[in-house]
Structure formats: structure tokens, C-alpha cells
């Protein structure tokens, strides 16, 4: 390492130390049993990125931003995924007039916890 290079503890590249999102491993092990598709689980992971960046741990990212991060060309693709997740009880959207929508994926978390508790 050169004298002017910064050390990155985990990934070896300093920019990767700008933030992390912690996801319990059993989410990865049980998301299919909980009724989530791979795309829905990816949406949960992207939403989880924003969970703790706001007061009261509200998850309220822009749908457009998350859609872009997930590779959708517009918001509509992600909105369809989120609507399916709502029907399955994996997600609840709390609409607020004049403010960002809050996304609550505790339904998914509870389903995964129930699966793991029964093992």
C-alpha cells in the first residue's frame, strides 16, 4: 500500500466503506419460503438500505431512485413489484399527503421469523 492510500478494512477499496446495510442471514435462507420472489427480495434489500437513515427508522426512499438502482427504466416496474408484495402481506405502504411514502416490510420479517422459529 502506498503512503497516500487509505486503508479499507473490509473490502479493500475505501469507497466501499461509505456505508453498509446489515441483513440477517436467515432472510437469505428463507425468503422463498416466506413467499417472496428473487425480485421482491431484491426490492426488500434495496428498501432496507434506507431503513435507518430517517427519524423513527422510517423507510421512505424515492421509488424512482430505488427503481433506478434495481435496473428498471421507470418507476412503473418497481411499483408493480411493490403492489404484488402488498397483496402477499410482505409490505405495507403508508401514504402521506405531501410527504414521502413510508415502506414497511415488517410483514416479510415476521414471516421469515415464523419460518425460522418453527425449525
Q: Looking at the predicted structure, is the pLDDT value of residue 19 above 80?
A: no
**Tens-digit pLDDT profile for residues 45-70:** 999 888 765 557 788 888 999 999 99
Q: Quick one: CA dihedral 118, 59, 45, 79, positive or negative?
A: positive
Of 22-26, 59-63, 83-87, 103-107, where does mean pLDDT reach its minimum? 59-63
**Tens-digit pLDDT profile for residues 33-49:** 999 999 999 999 999 88
> 104 pairs with which residues across the strands?
92
Structural domains in the chain plus CATH codes: 22-117 (1.10.10.10)
Closest CA to 93 of 60, 48, 56, 52: 60
Q: Looking at the predicted structure, is the pLDDT value of residue 2 above 90?
A: no
Q: What angle do CA 53, 27, 84 make, to 5 degrees?
A: 80
Q: What was the pLDDT predicted at 96?
A: 87
Which position has the higher pLDDT, 112 or 96?
112
Q: Is the CB of residue 91 less than 8 Å from the CB of residue 37?
A: no
Sequence-separated (6 or more) residues with CB below 8 Å from residue 10: 16, 17
Residue with cell 404484488: 84
Q: What was the pLDDT predicted at 44?
A: 94
Amino acid at each position: 500500500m502506498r503512503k497516500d492510500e487509505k486503508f479499507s478494512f473490509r473490502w479493500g477499496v475505501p469507497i466501499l466503506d461509505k456505508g453498509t446495510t446489515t441483513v440477517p442471514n436467515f432472510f437469505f435462507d428463507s425468503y422463498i419460503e416466506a413467499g417472496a420472489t428473487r425480485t421482491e427480495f431484491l426490492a426488500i434489500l434495496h428498501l432496507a438500505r434506507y431503513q435507518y437513515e430517517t427519524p423513527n427508522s422510517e423507510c421512505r426512499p424515492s421509488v424512482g431512485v430505488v427503481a433506478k438502482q434495481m435496473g428498471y427504466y421507470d418507476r412503473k416496474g418497481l411499483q408493480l413489484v411493490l403492489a404484488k408484495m402488498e397483496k402477499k402481506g410482505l409490505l405495507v405502504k403508508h401514504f402521506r399527503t405531501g410527504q414521502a411514502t413510508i415502506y414497511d416490510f415488517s410483514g416479510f420479517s415476521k414471516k421469515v421469523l415464523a419460518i425460522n422459529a418453527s425449525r
